[in-house]
A = this chain, B = another copy of it.
Amino acid sequence: MKFVNNAWYVAGWASEFESRLKSITILERNIVAYRTIDGRVVALDDRCPHKFLPLSKGQLVEDQIVCGYHGLTFGGDGVCKRIPGQSNIPTSAKVHAYPTYERHGIVWIWMGEPEHADTADVFDLPQFEDPSWEAHLGEALHLKCNYLSVAENLVDPAHVSWVHPTTLGNAASEDIPVDFEITDKNIIAWRWIRDSPPIGFFQQYGNFDGNVDRWHYYYLHLPCTAVIDFGSVESALQLPEARRHEGCQIYAIHFMTPITENYTIDRWMHIRNTAIDDDQVAAQIDAMFKVAFDEDKAILEAIQAEEERAASPPTLRLAIDKGANVYRKRIDRLIEAESLQAAE
């Protein structure tokens, strides 16, 4: 297997779940999800154990799913409650029920053994609830590529000069090396570009006239959450690194959900420290992100096609790849550990 199972993944924004059956795929598993009358999100394997008809083809009746082929009826716990035409219900008449958790408008799903699910592990940031910051959910970017390539891209400050020359990067940063910090909790890649013209993003958002100091801090949390802390401040202020929240700062957050080995959904959002409650600014930022993320999509999908075609993976490693290399090793170790655990 090429996925980490024992982890919380984003199943969708809260608004994506209503009181009707919805079919989704995560880690190559087909899942039927719905919101119960009392508001909880249920997620079950989307397959009746009788004839394998997807349960999402059936009916939702009073928080239970009635299979569309022979009427077998399953509760939110995945257990079969009724088999029309016979009174006994075999214990094998059940489907896997996935633990879910909802917070800050985000629905998470636990893809491992339910007994290991701990909601304390769900990703969080203090800024989500801090009134001096504003969190804004964006959209879902569908990428025809493996999630590992997406993650690499999200711990890689160097690519912005080349992939996003009109929005997130510009020529001033081309030759600035990247710094890394590897912690138990995450992988951090960052750099500051001092005293240079603002990037396209901060020309529009922030209205900087003269030169700025700007930064990019990429925090990659295994397996699939990336936080990009970036911003700008007038160079004249000579702001130290630790006080960058006094500048114009944005957290761009990416929740990667691996759908299949070559398909990933990247739900993105941002948290900003200016223009609180200003929906027009949020929409403007969304628009700029969409330009940039479509540029990433073009690159990542072309790489995926080439990797599928090529017999072997790339081997040229550069200084800027340190974060990506550590990430891939850690993912490999997690998958190996799960595999050993499963074999016990």
Contacts and interface: CB of A to CB of B under 8 A. Distances in A.
Contacts of A306: 30, 47, 52-54
Contact of A316 (B90, B314, B316): B90
B83 A318 contact: yes
A52 B158 contact: no
Interface in A174-191: 174-178
A113 interface: no
Interface in A82-105: 83-86, 90, 92-93
Interface size range on A against B: 35 or more
Contacts of A57: 298-299, 302
B303 A86 contact: no
A52 B90 contact: no
B85 A177 contact: yes
A162 interface: yes
Contact of A52 (B70, B163, B307): B307
Contacts of A90: 316
Interface string A32-64: 000000000000000101111110010000000
Interface in A131-179: 152, 158-159, 161-163, 174-178
15 contacts: A30-B306, A30-B309, A49-B314, A51-B152, A52-B303, A52-B310, A52-B313, A69-B159, A69-B162, A69-B299, A70-B158, A71-B174, A84-B161, A84-B175, A85-B175
Interface of A: 30, 47, 49-54, 57, 66-71, 83-86, 90, 92-93, 152, 158-159, 161-163, 174-178, 298-299, 302-303, 306-307, 309-310, 313-316, 318-320
Given A50-B318, A85-B176, 12 more contacts: A52-B306, A52-B314, A53-B302, A54-B302, A54-B306, A57-B299, A66-B162, A68-B299, A69-B162, A70-B159, A71-B161, A90-B316
